[in-house]
Amino acid sequence: MNTGNTPFGNITFLAGNHTELFRISRDGIWAHPDVPVDETAQKVIEALDSYIKELVQKAVEAERDRCILILERLHERSGGQYNYYLHAAKVLKGEI
């Protein structure tokens, strides 16, 4: 299932064959009349679950990258005296 943001703030949930299953818009909520409500609800939940997982994964990656940058800068600013900063950065990168 795909979700798509259409113009004017609509949120549309599409089936794999691009059939619109569910739409939330400023005009209200619409569900495809030929698809059972339970099936539509399950597909919407699956799409939201997938979207949330993707957002969380991107946030985790961004935070990890930021931590690595901070650790590398701390290592540089210490003049290389404190290798544990560099070691921690390499661990986060997966190099160690």
Amino acid 8: pLDDT: 65
How far apart (Å, rounded) are the C-alpha atoms in residues 70 and 37?
49
User: Would you kindly state where each structural domain of the chain is located, as residue ranges?
Assistant: 2-93
**Mean pLDDT in residue range 21-27:** 89
Q: How far is CA 73 from the centre of its chain?
A: 28
Locate tokens 């160690």: which residue? 96
What's the count of helices (H) and strands (E) in the chain, helices before strands? 2, 4
More confident residue, 62 or 96: 62
CB proximity list for 88: less than 8 A, separation 6 or greater: 71
pLDDT in tens, 1-23: 455 555 567 888 988 878 899 99
More confident residue, 6 or 59: 59
